[in-house]
Amino acid sequence: MAQLLDGKTLAQKIQDDLKTKIPDWVAKQGRPPGLAVLMVGDNPASAAYVRNKERACEKIGMASFGKHFPADTTQETLSEAIAQLNEDEQVDGILVQLPLPKHLDDVALLHQIHPDKDADGLHPLNLGRLLRGEQGIRSCTPAGVMEILKAYDLSVAGKKAVVVGRSILVGKPLALMLLAEHGTVTMAHSRTPDLGAVTREADILVAAVGKPNLITVDMVKPGAVVIDVGINRVVNEETGKGRLVGDVDFANVVNVAGAITPVPGGVGPMTVTMLLQNTFLSYCRKLGV
């Protein structure tokens, strides 16, 4: 049986650590770190994610400045809101909850967030810094994956890493982070022929696709580290009940992998935690420490 990589416990540990540090900072600086989350419309999944982020802030003593806008909000209104938050001394991190309604240009808004307040690490300057191997704010989900590998002493150097999925949110930045840790990195995607032949080479296999059971047991090298980023809701046809699964056929892959993240309880909790950590680090940097 594979070792279980418990992202939930690790996330809790990092959040507890932040919770312990923040009161000292508040005493010294007169204010807590602050995160502003902009949400447009009432997409239930987005609303749940935003609530989750706001609750996580509260729990560790970070200020959260939720800004909820109606679905017909204009680009100009959002643009002004970001400009104000960029100037706001209480705010260290800003994020725009995606997806946005179709009439809005999310990339233009991302560009507008001050790179030092880019809590999600998706501003082109921060992605460019990652590409160049410079210090900068790292995207939350891939940073969460790297934290899991580090916490479990799973070294990347010299290993063959395969990342399935090439989104700007997960796959691409993660491939760069694995490369920075000296992995030999291959990226696979929807046009990759014979995906199994590629994934079977992996010492570290990451699935970030959004397709339940895409990674089956025959696609995994025995002993490999398997990181499942996917989050998919599947409904049991008999009971009508929904549950979350990843991209990996966990029940079978757990028998051949060396280590594996579960879904839920693996990468997911680390993503929110990295958002808090990014905001805290921006706060510290602003104070020159």
Residue 97 catalytic?
yes
Q: Is 205 in the site for ligand NDP (CB under 6 A)?
A: no
205 contacts 199 by C-beta, under 8 angstroms: yes
Please tell me whether residue 97 binds ligand NDP under the rule CB under 6 A. no
Please state the closest distance from residue 145 (CB atom) to ligand NDP, in A.
9
* Residue 209 per-residue DSSP state: S
Site string for ligand NDP, 123-162 (x = CB under 6 A): ------------------x---------------------
Enumerate residues 222-261 that contact ligand NDP by CB under 6 A.
229-232
How distant, in Å, are the alpha carbons of 250, 251, 281, 289 from that of 276?
Answer: 29, 32, 9, 17
Asked if 211 interacts with ligand NDP (CB under 6 A), we say yes
Q: Which stretch binds ligand NDP (CB under 6 A): 16-24, 52-60, 208-216, 279-287?
A: 208-216
Output the smallest distance, CB 249 to ligand NDP, in A: 14
Nearer to ligand NDP, 78 or 174 (CB): 174
Q: Which of 224, 268, 273, 282 binds ligand NDP (CB under 6 A)?
A: 268
CB atoms within 10 A of CB 255: 13
CA 151 vs. chain centroid, Å, equals: 16
At residue 126, the 3 state secondary structure works out as helix
The torsion of the CA quartet 55, 57, 62, 68, rounded to 10 degrees, works out to -80
Question: How wide is the angle at C-alpha 61 spanned by C-alphas 60 and 67, nearest 5°?
Answer: 105
Whole-angstrom Cα distance, residue 7 to residue 219? 23
Residue 167 binds ligand NDP (CB under 6 A): yes
Is residue 53 flagged as an active site residue?
yes
Q: Is 102 known to be catalytic?
A: no
165 is an annotated ligand-binding site residue: yes
Residue 91 lies near ligand NDP (rule: CB under 6 A): no
CB 245 within 8 A of CB 212: yes
Beta carbons of 180 and 133 less than 8 angstroms apart: yes
> Active-site residues: which are they?
53, 97, 120
Which residues contact ligand NDP (rule: CB under 6 A)? 141, 164-167, 169-171, 188-192, 195, 208-211, 214, 229-232, 267-268, 271
